[in-house]
């Protein structure tokens, strides 16, 4: 019985010793303690990032001391209450929540080569040119109507053969691409406005023109000038885009669910100009 008791006491002592060692204080910045756990955690993080140039424990401790001193100074200045800082903190919390809740789901995302090809057939890499008229915030309905009419007149000039699409873009377009005849080179859907891409992809063959097409930036006449085949496509980039779409789908459903559960009130009248 005494042996059992003494063994339990010894085990308890070792356990308390381990806890004590784990929480050993290695520095104190004003009233804030820095423990060996803090040092080891940061050292492990640094080693993962660059194992060939990991800092020493002393260097890590020095950085933690300086960081803590800076954080305390920021709090003295009440920067943690500054709206800009609060917004940044909230962004960190937002993405931390997404990773915490959906990280495992992200890891399970998969798709086949056939899925990749089918996606590309619907979302090919295209080359376009455009003639653009800007419609900044505050543009009236009358001003937009006049811009639309103007693009109609320009389109009529191009169709009549009075001038080529490139010449019309050079003369009339308000986009930086105007000197190049409105050429936007090859782009995939992630580098084009959704409405622009949708209208361009619907064009049957190169040389066809769509528009006027409204985007948040203004009005466009869009000419399809090229389309890369599946054999020419960048498979790696396509897979990254599919992965991002699937991630965004998961995030969207998760956030919609949170919105449904939250008590939300809106004042949409305040949104009107």
Q: Kindly report, residue by residue over 36-91, the tens digit of the pLDDT.
A: 999 999 988 888 877 777 788 899 999 999 999 999 999 999 999 999 999 999 99
Mean pLDDT of the region 202-210: 93
What is the pLDDT confidence band of residue 10, given thresholds at 50, 70 and 90?
Answer: very low
Q: Does residue 6 carry a pLDDT above 60?
A: no
Measured distance CA(37)–CA(25) in Å, rounded: 9
Higher pLDDT, 95 or 22: 95
Higher pLDDT, 238 or 211: 238
Higher pLDDT, 16 or 200: 200
Give the per-residue pLDDT at 54.
Answer: 77
What does the pLDDT look like over 226-237, one tens digit per residue? 999 999 999 999
In degrees and rounded to multiples of 5, residue 109 shows phi and psi of -65, 135
Supply 53's token pair: 């140039």
Q: Which residues, at least 6 apart from 150, have a Cβ–Cβ distance to it below 8 Å?
A: 133
Supply 122's token pair: 């619907």
Measured distance CA(114)–CA(120) in Å, rounded: 10
Q: Where are the alpha helices (DSSP H) in the chain?
A: 2-22, 36-49, 57-76, 83-107, 113-122, 141-160, 165-172, 194-202, 235-261
Give the per-residue pLDDT at 14.
Answer: 43
Supply 116's token pair: 């990749």
């Amino acid at each position: 019985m005494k042996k059992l008791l003494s063994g339990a006491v010894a085990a308890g002592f070792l356990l308390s010793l381990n806890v004590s060692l784990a929480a050993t204080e290695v520095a104190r910045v004003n009233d804030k303690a820095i423990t060996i756990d803090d040092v080891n955690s940061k050292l492990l993080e640094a080693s993962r990032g660059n194992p060939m140039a990991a800092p020493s424990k002393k260097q890590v401790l020095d950085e933690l001391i300086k960081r803590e001193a800076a954080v305390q100074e920021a709090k003295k200045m009440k920067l943690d209450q500054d709206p800009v800082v609060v917004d940044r903190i909230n962004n960190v919390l937002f993405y931390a929540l997404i990773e915490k809740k959906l990280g495992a789901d992200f890891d399970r995302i998969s798709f086949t080569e056939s899925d990749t090809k089918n996606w590309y057939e619907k979302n090919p890499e295209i080359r376009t040119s455009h003639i653009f008229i800007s419609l900044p915030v505050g543009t009236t309905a009358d001003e937009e109507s006049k811009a639309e009419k103007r693009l109609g007149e320009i389109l009529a000039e191009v169709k009549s053969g009075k001038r080529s699409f490139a010449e019309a873009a050079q003369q009339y377009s308000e986009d930086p691409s105007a000197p190049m005849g409105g050429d936007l080179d090859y782009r995939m859907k992630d580098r084009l406005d959704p409405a622009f891409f949708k209208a361009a992809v619907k064009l049957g063959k190169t040389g066809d023109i769509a528009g006027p097409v409204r985007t948040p930036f203004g009005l466009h006449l869009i000419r399809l000038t090229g389309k890369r085949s599946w054999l020419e496509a960048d498979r790696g980039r396509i897979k990254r885009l599919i992965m991002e779409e699937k991630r965004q789908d998961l995030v969207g459903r998760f956030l919609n669910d949170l919105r449904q559960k939250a008590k939300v009130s809106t004042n949409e009248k305040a949104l009107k100009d």
